[in-house]
Amino acid sequence: MRVRWLLALGLLGLAPGAFAQERPCMADAARLCPDVEPGEGAQMQCLKAHKSELSPACKKKVMSAKIKHMEKQQLEQQQNP
C-alpha cells in the first residue's frame, strides 16, 4: 500500500525527497488530502478542489498540468476531426 502511495505521488509530481522543488505539491497533498487514495486522478481532483489553499508552487504545478492536458486534448481533436 505504501509503495502504491509513493508511486502515485511520484507520478503526480508529489513524491518526497530531494526533489521538493520539482514536486511542490507533496506537503499540500498531505495537508489537504490526507485520506485520498492516490490513483485515477483522485488526488489531483482533491488538490483542485482546494485550489485557494494551495501553496504558490503547487498551484503553479497544478495549473501547468491542466494546461498540458488541455493542449493534449486540442491536439487529439485536430488529429481526429
3-state secondary structure 3-47: HHHHHHHHHCCCCCCCCCCCCCCHHHHHHHCCCCCCCCCHHHHHH
Between CA 43 and CA 28 the distance in angstroms is 10
Encode pLDDT of 13-22 as tens digits: 544 444 455 5
pLDDT recorded at residue 10 = 53
pLDDT, tens digit (0-9, with 9 covering 90-100), for 57-78: 999 988 888 899 899 999 998 8
pLDDT in tens, 27-49: 999 999 999 988 888 988 899 89
Predicted structure pTM score: 0.59
